[in-house]
Protein backbone atom coordinates (compact mmCIF):
# COMPACT_ATOMS: atom_id res chain seq x y z
CA UNK A 1 0.00 0.00 0.00
CA UNK A 2 1.51 3.34 -1.01
CA UNK A 3 1.44 6.62 0.92
CA UNK A 4 -1.62 8.01 -0.88
CA UNK A 5 -3.65 4.89 -0.07
CA UNK A 6 -2.57 4.89 3.57
CA UNK A 7 -3.41 8.58 4.03
CA UNK A 8 -6.79 8.07 2.41
CA UNK A 9 -7.59 5.46 5.07
CA UNK A 10 -6.21 7.43 7.99
CA UNK A 11 -8.23 9.48 10.50
CA UNK A 12 -7.19 13.01 9.68
CA UNK A 13 -7.95 16.67 10.18
CA UNK A 14 -10.20 18.22 7.55
CA UNK A 15 -7.55 20.78 6.59
CA UNK A 16 -3.92 21.52 7.21
CA UNK A 17 -3.37 23.85 10.14
CA UNK A 18 -2.91 27.33 8.62
CA UNK A 19 0.26 27.77 10.67
CA UNK A 20 1.69 24.54 9.26
CA UNK A 21 1.71 25.55 5.61
CA UNK A 22 4.94 25.05 3.65
CA UNK A 23 7.00 28.11 2.82
CA UNK A 24 9.06 29.27 -0.14
CA UNK A 25 10.78 32.62 -0.42
CA UNK A 26 13.78 34.63 -1.47
CA UNK A 27 15.02 35.61 -4.93
CA UNK A 28 14.83 33.03 -7.69
CA UNK A 29 18.54 33.48 -8.40
CA UNK A 30 19.60 33.16 -4.75
CA UNK A 31 21.75 30.32 -3.45
CA UNK A 32 19.30 27.52 -2.59
CA UNK A 33 18.60 26.33 0.95
CA UNK A 34 16.24 23.54 1.99
CA UNK A 35 14.82 23.86 5.53
CA UNK A 36 13.38 20.81 7.36
CA UNK A 37 11.18 20.66 10.45
CA UNK A 38 11.05 17.99 13.14
CA UNK A 39 8.87 15.07 14.22
CA UNK A 40 5.28 15.98 15.23
CA UNK A 41 6.12 19.60 14.41
CA UNK A 42 5.52 21.58 11.24
CA UNK A 43 7.00 24.37 9.10
CA UNK A 44 5.78 26.79 11.79
CA UNK A 45 8.84 26.06 13.96
CA UNK A 46 11.20 26.73 11.06
CA UNK A 47 9.52 29.59 9.26
CA UNK A 48 11.41 32.36 11.13
CA UNK A 49 14.66 30.69 10.09
CA UNK A 50 13.49 30.34 6.50
CA UNK A 51 12.36 33.95 6.34
CA UNK A 52 15.69 35.10 7.81
CA UNK A 53 17.58 33.25 5.09
CA UNK A 54 15.24 34.53 2.36
CA UNK A 55 15.70 38.12 3.55
CA UNK A 56 19.44 37.68 3.11
CA UNK A 57 19.18 36.60 -0.48
CA UNK A 58 18.86 32.82 -0.33
CA UNK A 59 16.23 30.89 -2.26
CA UNK A 60 14.45 28.98 0.51
CA UNK A 61 12.10 26.00 0.40
CA UNK A 62 10.48 24.66 3.59
CA UNK A 63 8.20 21.67 2.92
CA UNK A 64 5.54 20.16 5.20
CA UNK A 65 6.37 16.52 5.85
CA UNK A 66 3.62 13.92 5.26
CA UNK A 67 1.42 13.41 8.32
CA UNK A 68 2.45 16.70 9.92
CA UNK A 69 0.32 19.77 10.49
CA UNK A 70 -2.95 17.81 10.41
CA UNK A 71 -3.46 15.16 13.11
CA UNK A 72 -1.23 12.76 15.01
CA UNK A 73 -3.40 9.88 13.78
CA UNK A 74 -2.52 10.75 10.20
CA UNK A 75 1.16 10.87 11.13
CA UNK A 76 0.81 7.41 12.64
CA UNK A 77 0.17 5.83 9.23
CA UNK A 78 3.20 7.43 7.60
CA UNK A 79 6.81 6.38 7.94
CA UNK A 80 10.35 7.57 7.46
CA UNK A 81 10.42 6.58 3.81
CA UNK A 82 7.47 8.92 3.19
CA UNK A 83 9.17 11.83 4.98
CA UNK A 84 12.45 11.18 3.20
CA UNK A 85 10.75 10.93 -0.20
CA UNK A 86 9.21 14.37 0.46
CA UNK A 87 12.52 16.06 1.29
CA UNK A 88 14.42 14.26 -1.46
CA UNK A 89 11.86 15.46 -4.00
CA UNK A 90 12.17 19.00 -2.61
CA UNK A 91 15.98 18.88 -2.85
CA UNK A 92 15.99 17.59 -6.42
CA UNK A 93 13.39 20.13 -7.52
CA UNK A 94 15.20 23.02 -5.82
CA UNK A 95 18.64 22.18 -7.17
CA UNK A 96 17.35 21.53 -10.67
CA UNK A 97 15.37 24.80 -10.66
CA UNK A 98 18.28 26.94 -9.45
CA UNK A 99 21.03 25.09 -11.26
CA UNK A 100 23.05 24.94 -8.03
CA UNK A 101 23.56 22.52 -5.12
CA UNK A 102 21.81 23.48 -1.89
CA UNK A 103 22.47 24.03 1.76
CA UNK A 104 20.21 22.05 4.09
CA UNK A 105 19.02 23.18 7.52
CA UNK A 106 17.25 20.84 9.92
CA UNK A 107 15.80 20.70 13.42
CA UNK A 108 15.58 17.43 15.39
CA UNK A 109 14.31 14.75 12.96
CA UNK A 110 14.83 17.34 10.24
CA UNK A 111 18.52 17.03 11.09
CA UNK A 112 18.38 13.27 10.53
CA UNK A 113 16.69 13.80 7.17
CA UNK A 114 19.30 16.43 6.25
CA UNK A 115 22.09 13.99 7.05
CA UNK A 116 20.39 11.33 4.94
CA UNK A 117 20.22 13.72 2.01
CA UNK A 118 23.93 14.44 2.37
CA UNK A 119 24.62 10.69 2.42
CA UNK A 120 22.50 9.95 -0.63
CA UNK A 121 23.15 13.11 -2.67
CA UNK A 122 26.60 14.47 -1.78
CA UNK A 123 26.81 16.31 -5.10
CA UNK A 124 23.62 18.27 -4.35
CA UNK A 125 24.29 19.25 -0.70
CA UNK A 126 26.83 22.02 -0.08
CA UNK A 127 26.52 22.27 3.69
CA UNK A 128 24.44 21.26 6.71
CA UNK A 129 23.18 23.45 9.57
CA UNK A 130 21.66 21.19 12.22
CA UNK A 131 19.89 22.17 15.44
CA UNK A 132 19.54 19.48 18.11
CA UNK A 133 19.62 16.74 15.46
CA UNK A 134 18.26 13.36 16.53
CA UNK A 135 19.73 10.12 15.20
CA UNK A 136 19.86 8.25 18.53
CA UNK A 137 17.99 8.14 21.83
CA UNK A 138 19.50 6.39 24.84
CA UNK A 139 16.15 6.03 26.63
CA UNK A 140 15.81 2.22 27.02
CA UNK A 141 12.11 2.37 26.13
CA UNK A 142 13.12 2.98 22.52
CA UNK A 143 14.24 -0.66 22.33
CA UNK A 144 10.73 -1.80 23.17
CA UNK A 145 8.84 0.46 20.75
CA UNK A 146 8.23 -2.47 18.42
CA UNK A 147 5.92 -3.95 21.07
CA UNK A 148 4.71 -0.86 22.93
CA UNK A 149 3.13 0.50 19.72
CA UNK A 150 0.95 -2.63 19.58
CA UNK A 151 -0.47 -1.85 23.02
CA UNK A 152 -1.17 1.87 22.60
CA UNK A 153 -1.13 4.10 19.51
CA UNK A 154 0.38 7.15 21.22
CA UNK A 155 1.91 8.65 24.34
CA UNK A 156 1.94 12.26 25.59
CA UNK A 157 3.52 14.62 23.10
CA UNK A 158 7.03 16.03 22.93
CA UNK A 159 6.21 19.36 21.26
CA UNK A 160 6.79 22.73 22.91
CA UNK A 161 10.18 22.22 24.57
CA UNK A 162 11.02 25.94 24.51
CA UNK A 163 12.56 28.04 27.31
CA UNK A 164 11.16 31.30 25.99
CA UNK A 165 7.77 32.09 27.56
CA UNK A 166 4.72 32.29 25.31
CA UNK A 167 6.48 30.75 22.31
CA UNK A 168 4.34 27.75 21.29
CA UNK A 169 5.65 25.30 18.70
CA UNK A 170 2.21 24.29 17.44
CA UNK A 171 3.08 20.58 17.36
CA UNK A 172 0.94 17.59 18.26
CA UNK A 173 -0.08 16.89 21.84
CA UNK A 174 0.39 13.15 21.27
CA UNK A 175 3.46 11.20 20.20
CA UNK A 176 2.32 8.58 17.63
CA UNK A 177 4.19 5.37 18.32
CA UNK A 178 3.98 3.61 14.95
CA UNK A 179 5.54 6.72 13.40
CA UNK A 180 8.09 7.01 16.20
CA UNK A 181 9.15 3.40 15.65
CA UNK A 182 9.59 4.15 11.95
CA UNK A 183 11.67 7.19 12.87
CA UNK A 184 13.97 4.93 14.89
CA UNK A 185 14.59 2.96 11.65
CA UNK A 186 15.62 6.24 10.00
CA UNK A 187 18.08 6.87 12.84
CA UNK A 188 19.62 3.43 12.30
CA UNK A 189 20.10 4.05 8.58
CA UNK A 190 21.66 7.47 9.18
CA UNK A 191 23.99 6.16 11.89
CA UNK A 192 25.18 3.35 9.65
CA UNK A 193 26.14 5.77 6.87
CA UNK A 194 27.60 8.63 8.93
CA UNK A 195 31.06 8.17 7.36
CA UNK A 196 29.49 9.13 4.01
CA UNK A 197 28.78 12.65 5.28
CA UNK A 198 31.49 14.95 3.89
CA UNK A 199 29.58 18.25 3.55
CA UNK A 200 30.57 21.18 5.80
CA UNK A 201 28.78 20.88 9.14
CA UNK A 202 27.44 23.43 11.61
CA UNK A 203 25.79 21.70 14.56
CA UNK A 204 24.02 23.39 17.46
CA UNK A 205 23.28 21.52 20.67
CA UNK A 206 21.21 22.87 23.58
CA UNK A 207 22.63 22.16 27.03
CA UNK A 208 19.06 21.79 28.31
CA UNK A 209 17.10 19.59 25.94
CA UNK A 210 14.13 17.63 27.32
CA UNK A 211 13.52 15.73 24.07
CA UNK A 212 16.94 14.56 22.87
CA UNK A 213 20.05 13.52 24.75
CA UNK A 214 23.63 14.33 23.78
CA UNK A 215 24.35 10.97 22.10
CA UNK A 216 23.24 12.08 18.62
CA UNK A 217 25.64 15.01 18.43
CA UNK A 218 28.47 12.88 19.82
CA UNK A 219 27.90 10.28 17.10
CA UNK A 220 27.87 12.99 14.44
CA UNK A 221 31.09 14.44 15.85
CA UNK A 222 32.80 11.06 16.01
CA UNK A 223 31.74 9.40 12.77
CA UNK A 224 31.15 11.97 10.04
CA UNK A 225 33.94 12.63 7.54
CA UNK A 226 33.40 16.38 7.19
CA UNK A 227 36.61 18.39 7.42
CA UNK A 228 34.86 21.77 7.64
CA UNK A 229 32.89 21.42 10.87
CA UNK A 230 31.77 23.42 13.87
CA UNK A 231 29.89 22.30 16.99
CA UNK A 232 28.25 25.08 18.97
CA UNK A 233 26.57 25.02 22.38
CA UNK A 234 23.30 26.84 23.12
CA UNK A 235 22.94 27.78 26.77
CA UNK A 236 19.61 29.62 26.74
CA UNK A 237 17.39 27.40 24.63
CA UNK A 238 15.67 24.04 24.90
CA UNK A 239 15.02 21.55 22.07
CA UNK A 240 13.09 23.82 19.70
CA UNK A 241 15.89 26.37 19.65
CA UNK A 242 14.69 27.87 16.35
CA UNK A 243 11.88 29.56 18.32
CA UNK A 244 13.90 30.17 21.47
CA UNK A 245 16.34 32.70 22.92
CA UNK A 246 19.27 31.57 20.73
CA UNK A 247 17.37 31.70 17.44
CA UNK A 248 19.25 34.71 16.05
CA UNK A 249 22.58 33.07 16.83
CA UNK A 250 21.50 30.01 14.83
CA UNK A 251 20.13 32.06 11.96
CA UNK A 252 23.22 34.25 11.63
CA UNK A 253 25.56 31.26 11.86
CA UNK A 254 23.70 29.48 9.08
CA UNK A 255 23.85 32.57 6.86
CA UNK A 256 27.63 32.61 7.24
CA UNK A 257 27.92 28.89 6.48
CA UNK A 258 25.59 28.83 3.50
CA UNK A 259 27.07 31.98 1.98
CA UNK A 260 30.58 30.58 2.34
CA UNK A 261 29.84 27.18 0.81
CA UNK A 262 27.70 28.68 -1.96
CA UNK A 263 30.58 30.92 -3.00
CA UNK A 264 32.82 27.96 -3.69
CA UNK A 265 30.21 25.50 -5.01
CA UNK A 266 30.16 24.90 -8.76
CA UNK A 267 27.00 25.47 -10.76
CA UNK A 268 24.76 22.52 -11.51
CA UNK A 269 25.75 20.62 -14.64
Give dist(CA 196, CA 190) in Å, integer: 10
Question: Is 239 marked active-site?
Answer: yes
Beta bridge partners of 59: 32
Q: What is the DSSP letter of 101?
A: -
Question: Is 209 marked active-site?
Answer: yes
Please tell me which residue in 52, 71, 82, 209 is annotated as part of the active site: 209
Give dist(CA 24, CA 62) in Å, integer: 6
Task: Give the SS3 label for residue 203.
Answer: strand
Please tell me which residue in 52, 71, 239, 254 is annotated as part of the active site: 239
- CA-nearest of 219, 186, 42 to 114 is 186
Give dist(CA 31, CA 20) in Å, integer: 24
Question: Is 108 marked active-site?
Answer: yes
Question: What is the H or E stretch that residue 202 is in?
Answer: strand 201-206
How many CB atoms within 10 Å of residue 229? Answer: 16
Please tell me which residue in 42, 71, 108, 182 is annotated as part of the active site: 108
Give dist(CA 146, CA 192) in Å, integer: 20
Question: What is the H or E stretch that residue 94 is in?
Answer: helix 80-98
How many CB atoms within 10 Å of residue 21? Answer: 14
Question: What is the H or E stretch that residue 2 is in?
Answer: none
Task: Give the SS3 label for residue 6.
Answer: helix
Q: Cα 139 to chain center, whole Å?
A: 21
Kindly list the catalytic residues.
108, 209, 239
Amino acid sequence: MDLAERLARAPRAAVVDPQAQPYAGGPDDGAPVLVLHGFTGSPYAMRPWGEHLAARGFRVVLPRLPGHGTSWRELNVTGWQDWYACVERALLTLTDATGRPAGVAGLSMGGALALRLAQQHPDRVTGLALVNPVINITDPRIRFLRWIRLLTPSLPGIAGDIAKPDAPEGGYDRNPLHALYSQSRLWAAVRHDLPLVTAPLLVYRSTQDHVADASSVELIRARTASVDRSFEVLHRSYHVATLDFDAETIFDGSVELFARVAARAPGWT
